[in-house]
Amino acid sequence: ESKKNWVLMVTAQSPTNIAVIKYWGKRDETLILPVNDSISVTLDPEHLCTTTTVAVSPSFNKDLMWLNGKEFSLAGARYQRCLSEIRGRASDFEDEEKGICIKKGDWEKLNVHIASYNNFPTAAGLASSAAGFACLVFALAKLMNVKEDCGTLSAIARQGSGSACRSLYGGFVKWDMGKDLSGNDSVAVQLADEAHWDDLVIIIAVVSSRQKETSSTAGMRDSVETSPLLSYRSKEVVPKRIVQMEEAIKTRDFPTFSKLACTDSNQFHAVCLDTRPPIFYMNDTSHRIISYMEKWNRFEVTPQVAYTFDAGPNAVLIAPNRKVATLLLQKLLFYFPPTPDTELNSYVIGDKS
Ligand code: 2P0
């Protein structure tokens, strides 16, 4: 008779990713299939990353999860989908030394314990579900000896949170929207690895640490239902921009990269304004940062910096190299001094890799 006191455990780490061509809008809410392709850059794992340990043992009597040390419900449909997709693909596992033998079908009967930590303050408005679901799916797949490739794992992570599929890879990543109703071809692909353009430096200026008022999921649902600009964007604008952005990344063409990233961020926020009721993710400080960066770029012969804003007021600023990043940081500290009394009260600085 097999022993009951063993625990099998895997720990994984995933960084978050920042979209430079944005995902906004779903064509299928359950499978999380987007209305357009998107492109992102995955951050260095030292910054804004999730670490997740998953374990199974015959002594665990139910599935449990802890997020930053506090118990967290796994009842949500997105967690359940990820768990069952992975369990359904599990294969035999044997460790003779430890006397562990798990047959393919046995994984369904074993309960899993999940402990997940973010190395950034969850309340900082930077808490992205991207790193979390990418990490969970990857760790579970390793634990349960799933033999699928990264593309298939990205399609599973996608069902946890759309942007999570892009965090399965480092470097520059494209989420292909796919054509199938099944979602099997709505996967992430790596465009270039982390070494390809490692001069880039990403600086995140935390404008507000408050939680956003409109969740991405609810916001994009409203946009799909009410924004004529979103349907124009997804059909007419993004397909061309994706081609141009892929080329800019391939050739490390920073001026084009900057123009596309800034324009796409602004169009995403225009879609938010075009939504009924309108969604305001950026605030006055965000707008001041944009004006400042635009002036700086216009003053120089070529763009010095790219900016992009997600579903919140925080600025993601991308400099082509460390020299410009240092200058950018000096300017930020001067024009937006980090004092606890103003809204812009801290910076998180991350190297891209
Ligand atoms: C992105 N965002 O491409 C875009 C830009 C926010 C703005 O992906 O409903 O948390 O879980 O699929 O992935 C945020 O949306 O939404 C997002 P769900 P998710 O990064």
ipTM tops 0.85: yes
* Closest atom of ligand 1 relative to the 217 alpha carbon: 9
Beta strands 93-95; 188-192: pairing state: unpaired
Beta carbons within 8 Å of 225's beta carbon, 6+ residues apart = none
Confirm if 91 and 165 have CB atoms less than 8 A apart. Answer: no
Best CA proximity match to 264, nearest among 25, 23, 32? 23
C-beta atoms surrounding 189 within 10 Å: 16
Residue 199 burial by CB count (10 A; 0-12/13-18/19+): exposed, middle or buried? middle
Best CA proximity match to 136, nearest among 257, 51, 214, 208? 51
Query: How does DSSP assign 115-128, residue by residue?
Result: EEEESS-GGGTT--
Residue nearest ligand 1's atom 11 by CA: 161
> CA–CA distance from 44 to each of 14, 35, 218, 223 (Å)?
9, 28, 29, 31
Site of tokens 């990233």: 261
Q: Where are the alpha helices (DSSP H) in the chain?
A: 77-87, 129-143, 150-158, 216-226, 228-232, 238-250, 254-274, 284-299, 322-335
* Pocket flag, ligand 1, residue 16 (CB < 6 Å): no
Name the residue of 17, 163, 286 whose CB sits within 8 Å of the most ligand 1 atoms, as the mutation to test its pocket: 163
Same fold, 8-192 and 201-351: no
H or E, element range at 53 = strand 49-56
> CA–CA distance from 133 to each of 113, 116, 159, 194 (Å)?
15, 10, 9, 21
Residue nearest ligand 1's atom 9 by CA: 217
Backbone angles phi, psi at 90, to 5 degrees: -65, 150
So where are the chain's domains? 8-192, 201-351
CATH number of 8-192: 3.30.230.10
CA end-to-end span of the chain, whole Å?
Answer: 49
CATH number of 201-351: 3.30.70.890
Beta strands 112-118; 64-67: pairing state: parallel
Name the residue of 310, 314, 316 whose CB sits within 8 Å of the most ligand 1 atoms, as the mutation to test its pocket: 310
**Distance from residue 65's CA to the centre of ligand 1 (Å):** 23
Q: What is the pLDDT of residues 39-93, one digit of tens each?
A: 999 999 888 899 999 999 999 999 999 999 999 999 999 999 999 999 999 999 9
Residue 163 carries which DSSP code? G
Kindly give the confidence (pLDDT) of every residue in the chain, 353 residues in length, as a single tens digit, with 9 standing for 90 and above: 456 789 999 999 999 999 999 999 999 999 999 999 999 999 998 888 999 999 999 999 999 999 999 999 999 999 999 999 999 999 999 998 888 999 999 999 999 999 999 887 665 556 678 999 999 999 999 999 999 999 999 999 999 999 999 999 999 999 999 999 999 999 999 999 999 999 999 998 888 766 677 899 999 999 999 999 999 999 999 999 999 999 999 999 999 999 999 999 999 999 999 999 999 999 999 999 999 999 999 998 889 899 999 999 999 999 999 999 999 999 998 998 876 634 434 444 222 22
Best CA proximity match to 244, nearest among 264, 258, 260? 260
Query: How does DSSP assign 3-41, residue by residue?
Result: -S---EEEEEEEE-EEEEE----EEETTTTEESS-EEEE
Residue nearest ligand 1's atom 14 by CA: 216
Residue 45 to residue 305: CA distance in whole angstroms:
22
**Distance from residue 63's CA to the centre of ligand 1 (Å):** 27
Q: What is the pTM of this model?
A: 0.94
Taking phi over 0 as left and psi of -120 to 50 as alpha, with beta for the rest, 69 belongs to left
C-alpha 124: how far from chain center: 15
**Distance from residue 167's CA to the centre of ligand 1 (Å):** 12
Residue 10 has a pLDDT of 97
Residue 133 to residue 236: CA distance in whole angstroms:
31
> CA–CA distance from 32 to each of 42, 123, 194, 234, 338 (Å)?
20, 25, 27, 16, 38
